[in-house]
Amino acid sequence: MSETLPALFTPLALRGVTARNRTMLSAMNQHVAKDGFADDGLLVHLGKFALGGFGIVTTEATAITPEGRIAPGDLGIWSDDHIDGLRRVTGFLRSAGALAAIQLGHSGRKGSSRRPWDGGPLTDADARNGEPPWAVVSPTAEALGPGHAVPRALGPDGIAAVLEAYATAAARADAAGFDLVEIHGGHGYLIASFLSPVINTRNDAYGGDLAGRMRFALEVAQAVRGRWPAHKPLMFRISSVDGHPQGWQIEDSVILARELKARGVDVIDCSSGGLRESTAIENTNRQLGYQVPYARAIRQGAGIATAAVGLILDAHQAEAVLGAGDADLVALARQALYDPYWPRHAAQALGLDPAFESWPTNAGWWLAKRATGLARIGYGPTGAPVTGG
């Protein structure tokens, strides 16, 4: 083992829990749950990332109400009946050394959609296949796009009901054994719609100026923090910018982050985009680490821990992000799907674990023997030839 830990593998203390390193699996919707229930498939799916060495493993966006689903098959936490299945998952994640995190979400006007690989809103044809559309809500009665249902604008009673659903979901998450809650406040879903000056054209206390548009997000954070144990950390995912010229800007995110911190949020997860049908900024001109500057700006401007996400591919890139003080965590999604053992491989790339000592013994022992055999014939542990002197 290296004597000096790379920043990527320095433990991170958050309130009363500690992540073993600075890697986090981002929430990625799978859309395979039945009636919102966690099953063996979810345990296997998330479990491989815990075995792969991630410090924090996050569920997909987990709906706080049935209407808060994005698409059929979304994971749910709107019923006490969901707790036992989730508890099996958290138990395994912790046994493998990871913190178990759950992302709580409400889709808002983006709900009642087909799975993303099918695209578009649910229709009568989907209903005939057992997946009927459902009513959606939003700050205003503006549809997401052509063919999408016109949402019901939430009034005071509707807002109160959603706040209670978030709070109750947080209590269920605690009962299910989660170590960390993340509120999804980005990508054009319900909270982000309230924040947006483009979508939120209300003229009441939940609209108008920045303070009014932030009110719902801050009340959600307060509601969750009030039912989430004080020793457990709370994260909040935002779209740092939404990609619309007249939309949400990084300066707004810094102000929001300060207010969230004052209400007990510990980490801002810094994504972007998704104001309308897309869930991320246009793919054009994306560069590696393209969202890292948002994490840096919010960390510096609001004095709060941040997670950097978006085209972070290898260990040296991640180490540079953390070493520069741009973020406190690096969050991976599709790169983790490509390589569920990314943290284990990153440790080797940074010279931290040449003998596979950090791996579970039943895997590391075999890999060490493999590495010894490969070395005898001039190959490194990745299977690449060793060159140079």
Q: Which residues are catalytic?
A: 189
In three-state form (DSSP H/G/I as H, E/B as E, the rest C), the secondary structure along 291-347 is CHHHHHHHHHHHCCEEEEECCCCCHHHHHHHHHCCCCCEEEECHHHHHCCCHHHHHH
Distance of CA 174 to the CA centre of its chain: 18
Residues with Cβ within 8 Å of 378's Cβ and at least 6 positions away in sequence, in order, are 385, 386
Q: What is the rounded CA–CA span in Å between residue 331 and residue 174?
A: 23
Transcribe 165-182 into DSSP letters: HHHHHHHHHHHTT-SEEE
Cβ(88)–Cβ(129) under 8 Å? no
Determine the straight-line distance between the first and last CA of the chain, rounded to whole angstroms: 22
For helices 40-51 and 83-95, the axis angle rounded to 10 degrees is 20
300-to-159, 306, 324 alpha-carbon distances in Å:
32, 10, 12
CA dihedral 310, 316, 318, 322 (to 10 degrees): -140
Q: What is the rounded CA–CA span in Å between residue 286 and residue 278?
A: 15
Give the helix/strand (H/E) hosting 138.
strand 137-138
316-to-191, 321, 347 alpha-carbon distances in Å:
34, 9, 10
Distance of CA 341 to the CA centre of its chain: 18
**Token pair recorded at residue 117:** 């690989």
Q: What is the rounded CA–CA span in Å between residue 196 and residue 236?
A: 16
